[in-house]
Chains A and B, each alone.
Chain A
């Protein structure tokens, strides 16, 4: 009894973080095994991880409980040279056909190819205003953490869990611990949200976030646009954290205003009051706190086969002989053997075959605008295949309206249609042989970009553009003469 009183008293005097507040509001009850039955406010689905779930529903004779809480689009398998159907790949065509059948049968909102609103599921949700503060959002895709940028608890799930959400709008979940990652100071010119993400993963490791939700904060995040916040939250899973979020603020509300699914009129005023209340209290408790100085972050690139294999562009490729443990030595050796990169040499100057700008990490309008403002007057190096793949049809349309696509094509990029494309190469956009790709995507795993021997070097979109122009891994600050004297390359009004 005494314990209970103390606990209740503590909850009054101790502040709560956003994760706790949203969790508590969505807890339906406690299951027999001790897990919480958590209500899922918004469910996003796509063609790769949902068909089996609908099949399971059919086998069990179950219906979709709240069809209006699920939203679908098609992204992974869509060809980007032409979205015309039938697709050349009959398997891809069968998958989109299956998705159409399932959404029609269950009355689910679907942003199809002809809608003008199709795109990567993590770009479509925010664009439509479906992603909102204080909500729980899941999708059968690990980059669902992207939506945490709005102050939502958002995380990726497996297909059996997609079935659970379709059938009950709930999941059996274990509560995570919360780690506050505080990035203070100002980013230097030419350093982007992507570099912040790669830097954090490098510091904390690819498995450092297991068991945690990451709360990102500090002056860097306060100053970030929503799209920059999304880039960092997106890569939480690359650091092992299933979920990452930023507290909602005026930047969040400004982004959401007038989006199709955002509240309107008096509902908007009520929503604003509510949304503000979800932000972590100033005296909120955390299970762990990490402080990072923004000025320490350089343009960062990966050299290996795990997202935590990151180094600053000015650094040299690690030497296995300098490893601190035998395990580290083995891991560096394996990575260098796969990447065919020389230990101890600068990463700068590594020849590049393919350049890819796109993905749910860096395929948003601000990514293309940012690169476009530097790309004019430059040309992609001979022998380099350069792809620009907008993350959504809306992003594509805005780029075309602003003439951004022309800037890219004049520089020698191929301008493609919306989709996941070469981030995971489930469509025809694949590396060949051991081609090396400078990529704005999120994973440099072995074989990730479609060739079992293909090599990926992760970096920011502007660094990809620099690599495309130089034909080798380059420092965008030098290629584009980004200096401290110039205006900040972080325009704040891009949403």
Chain B
């Protein structure tokens, strides 16, 4: 299994407003009726992007200025609620490769790391400044560098954080943990046998 090391992500960005964006908002439950993740991009933020007639209501994701954005900007506790991996999968499949927010819900964070989509935290102030810069120039290239833990754009930059283990997993190409988990087969057997229950 060969997976890529992720040292940095660069691209244009778009800001999705609101704190406590839950995974039901990211992908409404009716889009979960599927047996593969292949078509999830179309459900991304559906109910805040389209009205009952299916017409766009002017959400940032449908703003042509931000078309092709691969970096999502958000506020705090992004991805709270359900554990559905459909949420990061729909974001990824819509073309995003990284998210910068004030904070992330834990399961969402882990699910994103597991599919190689870094979620990094910045201060509210720094994200606001970046959002203003992106609004002023939607073609602005934003770079998330996991080596030096910085976001840079134009002449600006700001520090970001992420748990060491996730950063390590991303930059050493171990974000998909299955390979490593499988390697320890003997230790798994040993632990299974030592446990006092079935």
- A residues contacting B by CB (< 8 A) are 25-29, 31-35, 37, 39, 41, 48-49, 51-52, 55, 60, 62, 65-66, 68-69, 76-77, 89, 91-92, 94-95, 98, 132, 134-135, 140-142, 144, 155-161, 163-164, 167-172, 174, 206-207, 210-211, 237, 240, 242, 263, 270-271, 274, 306, 327, 331, 334, 424-426, 443, 445-448, 450, 452
A98 and B85 alpha carbons, distance in the complex (Å): 18
- Most central of A29, A135, A141, A263 by chain B CB within 10 Å: A29
Interface 9-residue window, one of B58-66, B74-82, B144-152: B74-82
Contact A29 B187 (CB under 8 A): yes
A306 and B37 alpha carbons, distance in the complex (Å): 27
- B residues contacting A by CB (< 8 A) are 1, 18-20, 22, 24-25, 28-30, 32-37, 47-48, 52, 76-77, 80-86, 88, 103, 105-107, 110-111, 114-115, 163-166, 168-169, 172, 174, 176-178, 180-182, 184-185, 187-188, 191-192, 195-198
5 smallest CB-CB distances across A and B, nearest first, come from A158-B111, A158-B85, A156-B83, A452-B47, A33-B168
Q: Smallest CB-CB separation from A90: which chain B residue?
A: B33
Contact of A28 among B106, B169, B187 (CB under 8 A): B187
What distance in Å separates the Cβ of B15 from its nearest Cβ neighbour in chain A? 14
A92 and B30 alpha carbons, distance in the complex (Å): 10
- Most central of B48, B76, B81, B174 by chain A CB within 10 Å: B81
Contact A445 B22 (CB under 8 A): yes
- Given contacts A39-B195, A446-B47, 20 further A-B pairs with CB under 8 A are A33-B168, A35-B169, A48-B32, A51-B36, A52-B36, A52-B85, A140-B84, A156-B83, A158-B85, A159-B37, A159-B85, A159-B86, A159-B111, A171-B177, A207-B77, A240-B106, A242-B106, A424-B82, A446-B24, A448-B24
> 29 pairs across A/B with beta carbons < 8 Å?
A27-B191, A31-B180, A32-B174, A33-B174, A35-B169, A37-B184, A41-B197, A92-B33, A95-B35, A157-B110, A160-B85, A160-B115, A167-B178, A168-B188, A169-B192, A172-B177, A174-B163, A206-B80, A210-B77, A263-B197, A331-B19, A426-B30, A426-B32, A443-B81, A443-B82, A446-B22, A448-B29, A452-B28, A452-B47
Contact of B196 among A144, A167, A170, A274 (CB under 8 A): A274
Q: Smallest CB-CB separation from A25: which chain B residue?
A: B195
Contact B178 A240 (CB under 8 A): no
Contacts of B81 in A (CB 8 A): 142, 237, 443, 445
Contact A172 B83 (CB under 8 A): no
Could you count the A-B residue pairs with CB atoms below 8 Å apart for me: how many are there? 206
What distance in Å separates the Cβ of A226 from its nearest Cβ neighbour in chain B? 18
Q: Smallest CB-CB separation from B33: which chain A residue?
A: A91
Contact B25 A447 (CB under 8 A): yes
What distance in Å separates the Cβ of A172 from its nearest Cβ neighbour in chain B? 4
Q: Smallest CB-CB separation from B34: which chain A residue?
A: A91
Contacts of A94 in B (CB 8 A): 35
A274 and B197 alpha carbons, distance in the complex (Å): 10
A69 and B83 alpha carbons, distance in the complex (Å): 21
Contacts of A452 in B (CB 8 A): 28, 47, 52
Contact A34 B33 (CB under 8 A): no
Q: Smallest CB-CB separation from B169: which chain A residue?
A: A33
Contact A164 B178 (CB under 8 A): yes
What distance in Å separates the Cβ of B80 from its nearest Cβ neighbour in chain A? 6
Q: Smallest CB-CB separation from B52: which chain A residue?
A: A452
Q: Smallest CB-CB separation from A239: which chain B residue?
A: B80
What distance in Å separates the Cβ of A202 from its nearest Cβ neighbour in chain B? 14
Contact B114 A158 (CB under 8 A): yes
Contact A206 B77 (CB under 8 A): yes
Given known pairs A158-B110, A210-B77, A445-B24, the reply for A69 and B198 (CB within 8 Å) is yes
Given known pairs A35-B165, A94-B35, A331-B19, the reply for A207 and B76 (CB within 8 Å) is yes
- Most central of A132, A155, A172, A242 by chain B CB within 10 Å: A172
